[in-house]
Amino acid sequence: MNDMAKNLILWLVIAAVLLTVFNNFSVDNSPQTMNYSQFVQQVQNQQVRTVTIDGYTITGERTDGSQFQTIRPAAEDPKLMDDLLSSNVTVVGKEPEQQSLWMRLLIASFPILLILAIFMFFMRQMQGGGAGKGGPMSFGKSKAKLLSQDQIKTTFSDVAGCDEAKEEVEELVDFLRDPTKFQRLGGTIPRGVLMVGPPGTGKTLLAKSIAGEAKVPFFSISGSDFVEMFVGVGASRVRDMFEQAKKQAPCIIFIDEIDAVGRSRGVGMGGGNDEREQTLNQLLVEMDGFEANEGIIVIAATNRPDVLDPALLRPGRFDRQVVVPLPDIRGREHILNVHLRKVPLGDDVKPTLIARGTPGFSGADLANLVNEAALFAARRNKRLVGMDELEMAKDKIMMGAERRSMVMTEKEKLNTAYHESGHAIIGLVMPEHDPVYKVTIIPRGRALGVTMFLPEQDRYSLSRQQIISQICSLFGGRIAEEMTLGPNGVTTGASNDIKRATELAHNMVAKWGLSEEMGPIMYDEDESHQFMGGSGQGGKLKSGETVSKLDKEVRKVIDDCYAQAKQILDENSDKLDAMADALMKYETIDSTQLKDIMAGRDPQPPEGWDDPSGGAPSAGGSEPEPVSDADAPEQGDSDGDDDGEPRRRPSDPLGGPAGS
């Protein structure tokens, strides 16, 4: 029902109400009312000319022409009729009104109709306004949104950072444009393409660009839209979706988050009649059953391919998997160029430097970075987005927003300065460690201070030396506190550092085979191990003696790294003091000031710093310079950080080195 019809019905209802009120309150020439005794007396006095008897109501006309009305006390009064006839009064009878059969049926069925109306209203609400798709009872209708070829403006030029994935799907575009090119040689296009990758890498955008390039209709639906509270609804929606797609063929069906409906059967609590499993069975049949779906390509996206049903992944259904990974440095630069086209840029913006400083960022992260930079520029009333705003946005995403309103005592600030200086000095001295990008004691996110390490290039694996260097730098903050505050003055600021260092040491020994004592054997087969005194349930090879050896080897790795880090800070105690003083003065220092301190020079004031009373530098700092000749690819998951934070963000609530 459109808006015009709804408005028309509303005005009709209002008009009916107004007419009813007007009729009830209007003044008309109603006849004079008198009691029954007066009426009988006037009849006997021959003052009444005519009467009309309607049940108990008697209306009539007097000899003078006036009207009257009275109510008789009983239904039958034989003496009244004699008086009327003897007084020459004209008597008119009125037949009682009879309700029609249809009116009586309507009145009798009104309660049932009211109950049905209420039921249909609630069913319509449960189906999310299903009346617009065929009525409130249209449970099995597909919820897929259809975009015509004219509505899709996205093309391959809008997708960057996944060149290999684009090459994989380009032949889909060729087939949709000219299917006979492949059919002449007996080839068939894949029925389904599964796009796999971390969140935010552009899987949905890539699928939409295929439809935009091929100029074909595009059906978009989420995996959760199939499953409802009623059994069989999901399977019916799958059938309806493919029936609609056949009418639009050639076309593309895109199912986002297919793991919501495509999980492996038989592994949950439900049985074979479970609603989700019925939906999956119907999807399997539609993709490759007795009836061929020519010209329909199903594209699905998920970041959990490990939980999908094997029958869904076999050839004939999802014939190929297209991996859409996190972009490398070249891909990040291309993605930035796509998003930077939408904002006015200053002359100092260098996408290459931003791409180098954002390892591990997905396409969505980079889009968010550009948006944050535009917001920073708007707050400053600037007409162009410059490099300063992009650096500020990068720091906010990687390290958290600044909390300048948080009040810290001078003692806490000094302790945080020494803590972060300890991390930074170890990172600068240890071989094959990521270069130090920035050190700050301004509270950001959940941390009171942050030491940010930035890889020089993308990382895909870790060497043993890199892991040892990371463990040493993690203990740098605690050792610096111990050197300045004494054993009893050490704070809880290193709690997360200790956790991450222990996980790295355990993974070295039990997972990655980097211990000479334990050998190249994987002792942990799952994530149920317990560090430092595990229960021995993590793997089949872990006897009680093996667990004891593992714990001893992990402790040995940690003790060696702790001793090595302490020796470095003892040898550079003057630089530790100088760096802490610089942090107390400037609050934030970058690679330029760090190089000055490590060379024994007084650090240069940060750019834009002109407040000798302790004002903070202008946000963003300078671009990190290589302070290590080591090749430092991205760390990935090897840091063992399992607190839910992205690997590139600081996870120590009281300060510590950031993840890669």
Looking at residue 133, what is its pLDDT? 46
Taking the C-alpha atoms of residue 561 and residue 432, their distance in angstroms, rounded to an integer, is: 15
Taking the C-alpha atoms of residue 69 and residue 56, their distance in angstroms, rounded to an integer, is: 11
Distance of CA 478 to the CA centre of its chain: 37
**Which one of 420, 432, 482, 553 is the catalytic residue?**
420
Looking at residue 130, what is its pLDDT? 42
162, two tokens: 């996944």
Give 278-321 pLDDT, tens digit per residue: 888 888 888 876 666 677 888 888 888 888 888 888 888 888 88
Q: Which backbone phi and psi does 595 adopt, to 5 degrees? A: -65, -40
Fold of 329-399: Helicase, Ruva Protein; domain 3 (1.10.8)
Looking at residue 230, what is its pLDDT? 64
> Which parts of the chain sit beneath pLDDT 50?
27, 128-137, 270-272, 526-539, 612-660
420 is catalytic: yes
Query: pTM for this one?
Result: 0.60
CB of 625 within 8 A of CB of 595? yes
CATH superfamily of 410-639: Peptidase M41 (1.20.58.760)
Give 212-259 pLDDT, tens digit per residue: 887 888 888 888 777 766 666 778 888 888 888 888 878 888 888 888
Taking the C-alpha atoms of residue 364 and residue 197, their distance in angstroms, rounded to an integer, is: 13
Count of C-beta atoms within a 10 Å radius of residue 518: 18
Looking at residue 561, what is its pLDDT? 92
Extract the runs of DSSP E, i.e. beta strands, from 337-457. Answer: 436-440, 450-453
Q: Which backbone phi and psi does 231 adopt, to 5 degrees? A: -70, 135
Taking the C-alpha atoms of residue 590 and residue 582, their distance in angstroms, rounded to an integer, is: 11
Fold of 145-323: Rossmann fold (3.40.50)
Looking at residue 492, what is its pLDDT? 82
Q: Which backbone phi and psi does 193 adopt, to 5 degrees? A: -130, 125
Task: Indicate the class that CATH gives domain 30-94.
Answer: alpha beta
Looking at residue 614, what is its pLDDT? 42
Q: Which residue has the tokens 């020494």?
A: 418
How much helix, strand and coil, in percent to the nearest 5, is found in the chain?
Answer: 45, 10, 40
Sequence-ordered alpha helix ranges (H) in 511-572 = 544-571
Cβ within 8 Å of residue 194, ≥6 positions away: 258, 299, 300, 301, 302, 305, 308, 313, 318, 320, 321, 322
State the DSSP code for 179: T
Question: Which among 475, 467, 479 has a CA at the least distance from the CA of 434?
Answer: 467
Give the three-state DSSP class for 318: strand
Tell me the average pLDDT of the chain.
75
Count of C-beta atoms within a 10 Å radius of residue 132: 12
Distance of CA 379 to the CA centre of its chain: 27
Provide the residue ranges of all domains of the chain, joining segments of one domain with +.
Answer: 30-94, 145-323, 329-399, 410-639
Looking at residue 502, what is its pLDDT? 92
Looking at residue 289, what is its pLDDT? 65
